[in-house]
A and B are shown apart, each in its own frame.
Chain A
């Protein structure tokens, strides 16, 4: 494996303790691992010291551009940021679109590895090969938007791209994210807290270089054909017209929304209809934007012109924001969801990891486990926009009850006691975004995800697609990919999507242009063609899926090295087993004997040890990682 083309070519290392910058070629590592997620995960595994807490300065924080990023491959713009997970203590990674990752490659870098902790707050300025660690005078304490504004005034270079943390990252809240290009968020796993722990406020990059591809004319022809094809697909048209938010109503009809801290799975149909109407009739949507090289353009610029949230404006409010605010916290006003989402972006808060502890607090208050004595006098109520906005601010600054909530719902419950752990909805310590009771493959992927509680590591959407068993067999080799509540063959389906998602993270292609979103979009074959033509590393779809499998093993190895995760860690929260769904699948829940069997199948498909849920030495050798055996 080498990637002679479409590559930045270098790994940038910044030791903030020593204020030292070094550069080394990507090539030696790229001989064994694909650029992007492959090299990233290998570096993380090998350079994270044992026995250190996630916010220890010795731990690395690794920024990585995908292997196709910077080319014209449709949607190839994404960046992966990895670190020791602040919430789980295990593998952590977050992904973001925007323009930063391609600019990093134009500057000549595929990865930035940041270690240490600066004595004073700093930012890193990358101007091609000239890398400077600069004092963050006047930046510390500022919101992400203000930080970007100040830096743009301070650094006068064309094609400047920025990422930064807000007050949440500075206070090392586990819910802190990293904001990229002002509108994109690298969320989950506390990546913003790790950046804050290094006293690193921002990174600026601009690059004057250009990327060659292996077969220029063929790559251009293939890319243009793919772009035009994608633009004719209904899923693309829907995403461009409305973003991902239209799926909220559809998922609500299926009874698959986390409602009031997962006490139910469907909100009032009229409330969901009001949200859907606001989206479809474009009450707030003004224009669609794309990330770099993206013809899909799912990012809707929205503006609230009247009412209590007038003046709210910004991009990239997703369906998941409606789960977080509309479902979990009971806010039915879409303008309020937009306003709170914008509030989070400025504070540098990951919406999911911030709202889940708030949902826990609201339920604790509902049940009398928290009172105004615990909440700085705030009366906590579902759907109270003002109170929820205050709680978000308190989390970001660790003020009062915000300090209790800032480390996630599990940590909050452990501190509070009072038998409140049963209301902390998490996997492996990381707060959940997803309702899990109805869709069994979806639930399995989230439960076993190495980064803890995420649908972006193998969660299939096929279970929500109205398709036939024949197509299921043809595409996935199993007849049940479209059967919501069946447990049958869901282990195989999840393994397929785990490999596919990792394949996409290798390339930097966005999930929203692929098989994940719609089976008419790019699948492994299409991605492999683009990858081979661009990089010169000729790979079939199967070979790239195998690389995706290897990446999962790197993540598993990280968790085996740094955590005590075992089979018990792959069981969903008790609530999903004991309290049934509402809505059309009323009564549906995850039964323990079914889950036992599903985990056996999942581990068994890979030949892992059934008792521990861990790979064997032979498994590691078989995927080409003998030193991890």
Chain B
């Protein structure tokens, strides 16, 4: 984890995956889900979402680095419902 910690509010998340894509763009300059440090797991039946933020590399994913080179983490910038916020460490 870098200088920032991303704080998820699962109950707000609308599962649009824009944070996932923003994160993948931050890491690789390209859009995908498996190269992102975020995974959105949605339970369609119960209307629930879990925002998983990887703080360690796993299955080819890079860990969240808090977008150290950005003014604000891209996932926070892009989330349309305020489900992600940042805590500076």
Contacts and interface: CB of A to CB of B under 8 A. Distances in A.
Interface of A: 70-72, 99, 102-103, 106, 145, 158-159, 181-183, 207-213, 216, 220, 224, 227, 231, 286-295, 297, 301, 303, 313-315
Contacts of B44: 181-183, 314-315
A99 to B, nearest CB: 7
A83 B33 CA distance: 30
Q: How large is the interface on B (under 10, 10 to 19, 20 to 34, 35 or more residues)?
A: 20 to 34
Given A72-B21, A158-B59, A216-B25, A211 B31 contact: yes
B55 interface: no
Given A207-B34, A289-B42, 15 more contacts: A72-B18, A72-B22, A72-B78, A106-B34, A181-B44, A183-B44, A208-B32, A208-B34, A210-B24, A212-B29, A213-B30, A289-B14, A293-B17, A295-B16, A295-B80
Nearest to B52: A158
Nearest to B42: A289
* Listed residue (A72, A208, A301) with the most chain B CB atoms within 10 angstroms of its CB: A72
Given A158-B39, A209-B32, A210-B32, A290 B14 contact: yes
A496 B31 CA distance: 32
16 contacts: A71-B31, A208-B34, A209-B32, A210-B35, A211-B30, A211-B32, A212-B30, A288-B14, A292-B17, A293-B16, A294-B16, A295-B18, A297-B14, A301-B47, A313-B46, A315-B47
Interface string B1-38: 00000000000001111100110110011111111000
A226 to B, nearest CB: 12
Given A106-B32, A227-B78, A293 B47 contact: no
B18 A220 contact: no
B16 A159 contact: no
A220 B21 CA distance: 11
B59 to A, nearest CB: 7
A208 B78 contact: no
Instruction: With a 10 A CB-CB cut-off, give which of A99, A158, A209, A291 has the most chain B CB atoms.
Output: A158
Interface in B20-77: 21-22, 24-25, 28-35, 39, 42, 44-47, 59-60, 77
Given A287-B14, A297-B16, A159 B33 contact: yes
A569 B46 CA distance: 45
Contacts of A286: 47
Nearest to B22: A72
B81 interface: yes
A522 to B, nearest CB: 15
A224 B79 CA distance: 10
Contacts, number: 97
A72 B31 contact: yes
Contacts of B59: 158
Contacts of A231: 80
The 6 closest A-B pairs by CB, nearest first: A210-B32, A290-B16, A301-B47, A295-B80, A210-B30, A208-B34
A287 B83 CA distance: 13
Contacts of A208: 32, 34-35, 60
A295 B28 CA distance: 23
Contacts of B81: 297
Contacts of A290: 14-16, 80
A293 B46 CA distance: 21
Contacts of B39: 158-159
Given A182-B44, A301-B47, A293 B30 contact: no
B29 A216 contact: yes
Contacts of A181: 44
Contacts of A159: 33-34, 39
Contacts of A71: 21, 31
B77 A224 contact: yes
A145 B25 CA distance: 33
Nearest to A315: B44
Contact of A287 (B30, B45, B47): B47
A313 B14 contact: no
Nearest to A99: B17
Contacts of A211: 30-32
A71 B46 CA distance: 28
Contacts of A224: 77-78
B28 A210 contact: yes
Nearest to A294: B16
Contacts of A293: 16-18, 21
A291 B16 CA distance: 6
A260 B44 CA distance: 33
A213 B22 CA distance: 13
B41 to A, nearest CB: 9
Contacts of A289: 14-16, 42, 47
Nearest to A70: B31
A213 B60 CA distance: 22
Contacts of A301: 47
A604 to B, nearest CB: 44
Given A210-B28, A220-B25, A289-B14, A158 B47 contact: no
A194 B39 CA distance: 34
Contacts of A313: 45-47
- Name the residue in A210, A212, A213 with the highest tally of chain B Cβ atoms < 10 Å from its Cβ: A210
B84 to A, nearest CB: 14
Contacts of B78: 72, 224, 227
Contacts of B17: 99, 292-293
A231 B81 CA distance: 10
Nearest to B78: A224
A294 B46 CA distance: 20
Contacts of A220: 25
A354 B80 CA distance: 36
A68 B17 CA distance: 15
Contacts of B15: 289-290
Contacts of A158: 33-34, 39, 59
A287 B47 CA distance: 8
A293 B42 CA distance: 14
A71 B33 CA distance: 11
A250 B5 CA distance: 46
